[in-house]
Amino acid sequence: MVKAAILRGYGEPLTIEDVELTAPGPDEVLVKTAAVGLCHSDLHAMQGLYQFPLPAVMGHEVSGVVLSVGEHVHDLAEGDHVVGCLSVHCGHCRQCEAGHQVLCQSPQVKAPPGELRRLAQGDTQVNQIFNLSGFAERLLVHRRALVKIRQDMPLDRAALLGCAVLTGTGAVFRSARVAPGSTVAVIGCGGVGLSTINGAAIAGAARIIAIDTLPAKLEMARTFGATDVIDGSVMDPVAAVMELVGGVDYSFECIGLKATAEQSYAMLAPAGLATVIGLFAPDVKIELPGIQFLQEKKIQGSFLGSSLLNIDIGRLVELYLKGDLKLDELISKRIALQDINEGFKDMQQGTVARSVVVFP
């Protein structure tokens, strides 16, 4: 038996309950959870924006220590430190071989909620979400859902590499390939947005403009590398960007709203590139002025930073240990599992960059 935070109804608080885990199958790994970050994707799921069978255990921004492995797992062993991959990938399908690991849909390694039977309460199935279910003291996952990391990397900070930091920095390094000396605008200064700003600074962008409606987040953005800030609650972000730099080479939308996605395109300089990172409601449609395509402006999506997970997570570890990647500053609070609902309240109020559940 292990403790887990379970979602039993959309719009309801999570409940801390005991769950049972099955023994690792041939390609599975049992991990002692060290830390798990609270992500807006989890909050959206709790609110019912994206629905799946209940009861369920969410949590995907996770790190831990390997306890045991299945008989076919030869590259991980007891005691290894690992980071969970939100996008478990097979490594050999068409998407993986083309370098798009985050788009892997192989049923060999991932399954829709309700199909896997790794968690239970007696005869009642508890559903695994995102193929991880990190809001628990243990997690049982496919081997391809884990990346081994250096043992000297602090695990509470390593947890963030699996989603927020990978998404933001990957959008800069891989999706957009930001060039040194360029101009960048980032709309939304939560965990993903701050990581995007940090990534742009590491990439050598000359001007990094942070846009948000909360002064506290804009002040934090300066810590992560923003050279300019715009309060979207008191001025038009597009007009402000145009006044500052005449349009940016790269923009990043990190919220998931129709208005901000359209702004990300409107604030581009000719030949600029807008990268949309934010998570949208399923029915949202974006409208763009067709005449601006004559200026060769481009817009693209990015999921998990278009990352190569087994390569990029290790590189982010090295950047942190070198002092370039700001993870300490990203963690606003460390909380216990029983305080997880308070952590999500803090998120909704916009008072934290990231809260991390730390397990003893």
Comparing CA positions, the residue from 268, 212, 210 lying closest to residue 238 is 268
Buried b (16+ CB within 10 A) or exposed e, 36-52: bbbbbbbeebbeeeeeb
Per-residue pLDDT, averaged over 177-184, amounts to: 98
Report the alpha-carbon distance of residue 297 to residue 1 in Å, rounded. 54
Burial class for 140, CB neighbours closer than 10 Å (0-12, 13-18, 19+): buried
- Residue 108 phi/psi, 5° resolution? -70, -25
Q: Are 114 and 175 part of one and the same domain?
A: no
CATH of the domain at 31: 3.90.180.10
Q: Are 212 and 298 part of one and the same domain?
A: yes
Per-residue pLDDT, averaged over 34-56, amounts to: 91
Beta bridge partners, 63, equal 35, 83
**Confidence tier at 109 by pLDDT (50, 70, 90):** confident
What is the average pLDDT value for the chain, to the nearest integer?
Answer: 94
Q: Are 196 and 153 part of one and the same domain?
A: no
Q: How far from chain centre, in Å, is Cα 336? A: 21
**What's at 250, amino acid-wise?**
Y
Residue 318 lies in a domain: no
Domain span at residue 299 reads: 168-303
Residue 319 lies in a domain: no
Report the alpha-carbon distance of residue 185 to residue 187 in Å, rounded. 7
Q: Which pLDDT does position 300 carry in this prediction?
A: 98
Q: Are 258 and 354 part of one and the same domain?
A: no
Residue 229 lies in a domain: yes
Q: Which residue has the tokens 């884990």?
A: 146
**Confidence tier at 87 by pLDDT (50, 70, 90):** confident
Task: Evaluate if residue 243 carries a pLDDT over 90.
Answer: yes
Q: Are 277 and 141 part of one and the same domain?
A: no
Q: Are 182 and 66 part of one and the same domain?
A: no
CB 149 within 8 A of CB 314: yes
Report the alpha-carbon distance of residue 95 to residue 97 in Å, rounded. 6
Q: Are 338 and 262 part of one and the same domain?
A: no
**Residues sharing a CB contact under 8 Å with residue 234, sequence separation 6 or more, in sequence order:** none
Residue 316 lies in a domain: no
Q: Are 241 and 177 part of one and the same domain?
A: yes
Residue 310 lies in a domain: no
Q: Are 22 and 154 part of one and the same domain?
A: yes
This prediction's pTM:
0.94
- Looking at the 3D structure of the chain, how many domains does it have? 2
Comparing CA positions, the residue from 268, 225, 271, 274 lying closest to residue 246 is 268
Q: Are 180 and 132 part of one and the same domain?
A: no
Task: Evaluate if residue 228 carries a pLDDT over 80.
Answer: yes
Task: Evaluate if residue 336 carries a pLDDT over 80.
Answer: yes
Report the alpha-carbon distance of residue 118 to residue 213 in Å, rounded. 42
Cα–Cα–Cα angle for 171, 176, 182, rounded to 5 degrees: 115
Q: Which pLDDT does position 108 carry in this prediction?
A: 81
Beta bridge partners, 212, equal 231
Summarised one tens digit per residue, pLDDT across range 115-172 is 778 999 999 999 998 889 999 999 999 999 999 999 999 999 999 999 999 999 999 9
CATH of the domain at 205: 3.40.50.720
Q: Which pLDDT does position 180 carry in this prediction?
A: 98
Residue 131 lies in a domain: yes
How many other β-carbons are positioned within 10 Å of the β-carbon of residue 124? Answer: 9
Q: Are 155 and 184 part of one and the same domain?
A: no
Q: Which of 266, 287, 303 is the last residue of a domain?
A: 303
Q: Are 37 and 142 part of one and the same domain?
A: yes
Burial class for 150, CB neighbours closer than 10 Å (0-12, 13-18, 19+): exposed
